[in-house]
Amino acid sequence: MIQRKLILFLFCIISLGLKAQYVYHNAEEFPLYGKISDNTELHFERLDKSLKDKVSRPYLWFLSKNTAGLAVRFKTNSKNLAFKWEVVNNATMNHMAPTGIKGLDLYCFKEGKWKFVNCARPSDNHKSEAVLSAQKEVAVSEYMVYLPLYDGIKQLEIGVDSLAFIADPEIESPRRDKSIVWYGTSIAQGGCVSRPGMAHTNILSRWLDCEIFNLGFSGNGQLDYEIAEFFVQSDASLFVLDCMPNVWEQKVYENLENFYNIIRAKHPTTPILFVQNPWFSLMEFDEGSYNSLVTKDKALDEVYAKIKNKDPNVYYHNSKDFLGDDGEATVDGIHYTDLGFHRCAEAMYPMLKKILYNK
Amino acid sequence: MIQRKLILFLFCIISLGLKAQYVYHNAEEFPLYGKISDNTELHFERLDKSLKDKVSRPYLWFLSKNTAGLAVRFKTNSKNLAFKWEVVNNATMNHMAPTGIKGLDLYCFKEGKWKFVNCARPSDNHKSEAVLSAQKEVAVSEYMVYLPLYDGIKQLEIGVDSLAFIADPEIESPRRDKSIVWYGTSIAQGGCVSRPGMAHTNILSRWLDCEIFNLGFSGNGQLDYEIAEFFVQSDASLFVLDCMPNVWEQKVYENLENFYNIIRAKHPTTPILFVQNPWFSLMEFDEGSYNSLVTKDKALDEVYAKIKNKDPNVYYHNSKDFLGDDGEATVDGIHYTDLGFHRCAEAMYPMLKKILYNK
């Protein structure tokens, strides 16, 4: 009996100890990257709340609450970092890992580069908690935590060791004076990476050291004018139009030039990059996909040629080399895996660097 | 009323039509790759049923029913391929996509190479169905379908277009006269790829054109003697011992040489490859992982040096280059993503090719 009481006593002490170990801070206190407007319903979301009743399809509004491309920056000397987060939908997908859908992804700035630390893995429920080892020794370090790609965040708290501090970052990286608006599809939204940091917009944000506003909307990168009217608020250095998989021949003819004109009305000379439909491996085995791609690529080429004729600040990225030549870089012949996003980032990096930094 | 009857009639016709579209065949009729013993409880599993009450831990037996590395081969002229499959556990993991855990992964032999066609995505339930486009035109082709990595298969049916045939393969690829037994951990079992074909044992089986017997057991590659006693039944061309993440310093000293001796007793000169613990990116941020790895690597080096001294047919693979140098190739600092497995396959391919083919 005495032994059982002792065990219970020790259990209480340990439980209290564990609970007291981390001091939690509301992540909304720290700088958020990847968000164009501060006028949003929740803190962590992508579209201005004035768009709620204006978007072309309700699902587009639903997707705008997915936190793809958003990241919180801070510095701390905590050896461990604890996270408590509550997601909006507790979404699941059969071809994407929960870590990518609704996990958090921690990076540390070391020796002039962003390095992957670890991923905070989600539970089966809306609420999750995770503790990550963030340093081998106590030292002040700069961190960035990427938010979920295919779910939203209602609340996020960052916990540090009880004797540690957490504060705003010292270094401005990714740079905010260079930024890209990336408009696109489920792929642009990060489908289907293993963890948020491996979406190509997040990879390229690290490699190019620039903020990227991810406006990828699964199935809904349909050249909707209200989205262009929204993102032109941003003083971006480059607009990437990467939505071909979600449009069709007629849509390209009808909407693409108007969409471009909305950007040009506000940003007369800012570079705009038109991205060809990725050369999906599926097309080698599926007649319908192949035919659809060929016709809409032709439409893109025609519209682009017409625009290029009058505008020296537009660019075109051929997609043939996005995924390598072995057909292995997707999970379903369409959506990129970490291998696919890494290859795509490598393929696009030179042109993006040239446009942003002229080198 | 007449209209409703007409709709019902059309619905029945369409339903019957859809059901009649594919003719299903039991996948157990076709050659299975990656299985050492035919004496198993279910057709699709990895360990001989005589081991059921002999394995060191019940969980090891549980994992032996995961179908990692198993693949069914056939040829058909069907444009579409339909799959119906029932899994054993309907497993879920928070850092691995359901497609990798319990999906099927279809490859086609084209121009002398295995090419990824598409992945059959699992449902939320034990039973799933999927239809994949397998060819743009009707043509006889050779296929391989990889089975789930982290679940078992109770039943698998392959459906072909109603006028198509399905039969045993014509080409023997992967070659059965060259084969590898790959003993290891959760990583060897394929954690955490997006789809089965991207586990490095499956990638390397395609690249090396050889059958690979996957004996990766998540958390359970603990140098258990009964597993070596089982796999020495195989007339393999190479034994790969890739279990370091699941053992610890003392275990290496106690078990590794005995484990090696069990292989040597049956296969006096067959090459044996000892694989170093992967250099996990986690170790840069986690003191405990780093220290553990350094001590057990030292133990491996000592035991290997002793064996190498008397045995010319043993090899050692340094793991420093398995995952590249950017720290990006895992989902959790440990388990490889598609990027990690692809890099690891690239790193190991030259040595494996040299051992298997002496070139």
The per-residue pLDDT for range A200-256, each reduced to its tens digit, is: 999 999 999 999 999 999 999 999 999 999 999 999 999 999 999 999 999 999 999
Residues in chain A: 359
To which residue do tokens 């005995």 refer? B258
Please give the average per-residue pLDDT across A93-112, as a whole number.
97
Please report, for residues A288, A344, B192, the alpha-carbon distance to residue A284 in angstroms, rounded to integers and kept in the order given.
10, 19, 27
pLDDT attached to residue B12: 43
Are A95 and B282 in contact (CB < 8 Å)? no
Domain boundary among A145, A167, A189: A167
Is residue A1 a part of any domain in this protein? no
Tokens representing B250?
A: 């003392």
Interchain proximity B194–A97, CB inside 8 Å: yes
Q: Two tokens at B27?
A: 């996948």
| Residue A116 C-alpha, separation from nearest chain B C-alpha, in angstroms | 6
B323 and B288 within one domain: yes
In a domain, A51, yes or no: yes
Does the residue B341 lie in any domain?
A: yes
Residue A87 CA: distances (Å) to CA of A124, B54, B172: 11, 45, 49
Do A225 and A329 lie in one domain? The reply is yes
Tell whether A8 is covered by a domain. no
Residue A115 placed within a domain: yes
A314, A308 contact by CB (below 8 A): yes
Of B135, B192, B285, the CB nearest to A194: B192
Where in the sequence is the domain holding A126, given as residue range(s)? 21-167
Domain assignment present for B11: no
Is the pLDDT confidence value at A7 over 50? no
Report the domain count for chain A.
2
Q: Are residues A159 and A191 in the same domain?
A: no
**Structure confidence by residue, pLDDT tens digits, A273-308:** 999 999 999 999 988 888 889 999 999 999 999 999
Closest CA in chain A for residue B120: A332
Q: Do residues A189 and A331 share a domain? A: yes
A192 and A338 both lie in a single domain: yes
For chain B, 359 residues long, the average pLDDT of each consecutive 10-residue run is: 48 44 97 98 98 96 98 97 98 98 98 97 98 92 98 98 97 96 98 98 98 98 98 98 97 98 98 96 88 93 98 96 96 98 98 95
Q: Which of A18-22, A35-39, B280-284 is least confident?
A: A18-22
Query: What's residue B10's pLDDT?
Result: 45
Q: What are phi and psi of A145, to 5 degrees?
A: -120, 120
Residue of B81, B194, B207, B283 to mutate for A, most A C-beta atoms under 10 A: B194
Whether residues B193 and B75 share a domain: the answer is: no
| Domain CATH number, residue A31 | 2.60.120.260
Q: Is B10 helix (H, G, I), strand (E, B) or coil?
A: helix
In this structure, the answer to whether residues B296 and B254 fall within a common structural domain is yes
Cα separation values, B172 from A95, A197, B70, Å: 31, 41, 16
Q: Are residues B199 and B343 in the same domain?
A: yes
Are B140 and B84 within one domain? Answer: yes
Write the DSSP symbol of residue A195.
S
DSSP string, A115-131: EEEEEE---SSSEEEEE
Do A161 and A300 sit in the same domain of this protein? no
Neighbours of B322 (CB within 10 A): 25
ipTM above 0.90, yes or no: yes
> Does the CB of B97 have a partner CB in chain A at under 8 Å?
yes
Q: What is the CATH number of the domain that holds B261?
A: 3.40.50.1110
Read off φ and ψ for residue A64, nearest 5 degrees.
-65, -20
Chain A (307-326) residues lying within 8 Å, Cβ to Cβ, of chain B: 326
pLDDT band at residue A10 under the 50/70/90 scheme: very low
Q: Which of A114, A142, A167 is the last residue of a domain?
A: A167
Residue-wise burial string across A104-113, b where 16 or more C-beta atoms lie within 10 A, e elsewhere: bbbbbbeeee
Shared domain for B130 and B99, answered yes or no, is yes
CB contact under 8 A, A135 and B328: no
A338 CB within 8 Å of a chain B CB? yes
Give the length of chain B: 359
CB B319 within 8 A of CB B276: yes
Selected residues 31-70 of chain A with any CB under 8 Å from a CB in chain B: none
Establish if A13 belongs to a structural domain.
no
Q: Are residues A147 and A252 in the same domain?
A: no
Pick the last residue of a domain from B149, B167, B185.
B167
B279 occurs within a structural domain? yes
